[in-house]
């Protein structure tokens, strides 16, 4: 059975990777040159890497996160890399008024917006669910409601530019993930909201694309620190991940699966859910998890 799993999943992954990855043709950096882009959670990790790719593509950037000192450095680097312009606004998405403040900053600076990349996440425990409902409320505000609020505030500008919304989610937003119940709930909520909104845009002839990014384990500092002692998989590179997200948004793709084997996992979820569940559990070294 173990051997079967080891062969079956990579084969299925390779077939799906070929299907999904060869599907969207025609990305070129010119598609983004001069575009006005907001990136949230841009002070570190995948958001920071997206900012650098977008800077090389000569976009106008508005970056946001909580830590001003880190944002300052990222903005400086973006300008060195060739961004048409780069600025930041710091604040916490835990504050329900902050999403609108960020969007207003873009409106005052540029008078419009082409791409909204929603990427930030608040801190949540990686452990058995301990019954802390307050923590779920907080993380819902940061990981889900602020995404909805930013989209709502930015929608009139995005309609005018026929722009794009990019929502960074996770495998944990498509299938249950042990030790991440609250995080997973916020990511499932994103899928429900944005996939419904996409239908409405099509029915209402609103030409704003929504790209949902379903990511596996990526080697950002925070993810590696939180889970590497428990998860057996090797993480994928954040630089490549960030580039694939930017490309998927520019191509107005419906969903991005990165790394490509994520597509195989999603297929298994529907055709063999019990099998997928046991495969997921076998990827965890539970003995290394300290209960809090």
CA torsion angle 155 248 26 218 (round to 10): 160
Please select the residue that binds ligand NAP; options are 152, 222, 225, 283, rule is CB under 6 A: 222
Q: Lay out the site mask for ligand NAP across 122-141 (x = CB under 6 A, - = otherwise).
A: x-------------------
215 binds ligand NAP (CB under 6 A): yes
Read off the DSSP letter of residue 220: -
Q: Look at the block and give the residue holding tokens 């889900």.
A: 144
Is 147 known to be catalytic?
no
d(Cα 283, Cα 20) in Å, to the nearest integer?
25
Provide Rg for the chain, Cα atoms.
19
43 binds ligand NAP (CB under 6 A): yes
Q: Which is nearer to ligand NAP, 119 or 164 (CB)?
A: 119
Q: How far is it, in rounded angstroms, from Cα 25 to Cα 160?
A: 26
Compute how many residues bind ligand NAP; rule: CB under 6 A. 27
Nearest by Cα to 162 from 112, 229, 98:
112
Write down the least CB distance from residue 56 to ligand NAP, Å. 19
| Pairing assessment for the beta strands 209-215 and 255-258 based on DSSP bridges | parallel
Q: Which of 183, 217, 258, 284 is catalytic?
A: 183
Looking at beta carbons only, is 163 or 173 nearer to ligand NAP? Answer: 173
Hunting for tokens 């590497």 — which residue is that?
228
The nearer residue to ligand NAP, 205 or 234, going by C-beta atoms, is 234
Q: Which of 17, 46, 166, 264 binds ligand NAP (CB under 6 A)?
A: 46
Q: Shortest CA distance to 99 belongs to which of 64, 50, 59, 75?
A: 64
- Taking residues 158 to 197 in sequence order and writing x for each that binds ligand NAP by CB under 6 A, - otherwise, the string is ----------x-x---------------------------
Q: Point out the residues that are catalytic.
A: 183
């Amino acid at each position: 059975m173990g051997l079967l799993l080891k062969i079956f999943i990579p084969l299925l992954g390779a077939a799906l990777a070929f299907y999904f990855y060869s599907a969207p043709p025609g990305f070129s950096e010119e598609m983004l040159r001069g575009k006005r882009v907001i990136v949230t959670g841009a002070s570190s990790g995948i958001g920071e890497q997206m900012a650098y790719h977008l800077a090389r593509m000569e976009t106008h950037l508005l970056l946001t996160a909580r830590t001003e000192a880190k944002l300052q450095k990222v903005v400086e680097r973006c300008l060195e890399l060739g961004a048409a312009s780069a600025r930041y606004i710091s604040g916490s998405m835990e504050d329900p008024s902050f999403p609108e403040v960020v969007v207003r900053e873009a409106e005052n600076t540029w008078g419009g917006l082409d791409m909204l990349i929603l990427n930030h996440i608040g801190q949540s425990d990686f452990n058995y669910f301990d019954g802390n409902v307050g923590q779920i409320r907080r993380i819902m505000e940061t990981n889900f409601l602020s995404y909805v609020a930013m989209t709502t505030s930015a929608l009139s500008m995005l309609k005018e530019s026929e722009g794009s919304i990019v929502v960074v989610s996770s495998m944990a937003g498509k299938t249950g993930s042990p030790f991440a119940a609250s995080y997973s709930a916020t990511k499932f909520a994103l899928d429900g909201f944005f996939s419904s909104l996409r239908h409405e845009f099509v029915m209402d002839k609103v030409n704003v694309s929504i790209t949902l990014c379903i990511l596996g384990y990526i080697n950002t500092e925070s993810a590696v620190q939180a889970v590497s002692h428990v998860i057996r998989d090797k993480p994928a590179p954040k630089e490549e991940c960030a580039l694939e997200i930017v490309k998927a948004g520019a191509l107005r793709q419906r969903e991005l699966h990165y790394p490509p084997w994520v597509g195989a996992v999603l297929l298994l979820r529907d055709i063999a859910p019990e099998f997928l569940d046991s495969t997921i559990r076998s990827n965890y070294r539970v003995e290394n998890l300290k209960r809090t």
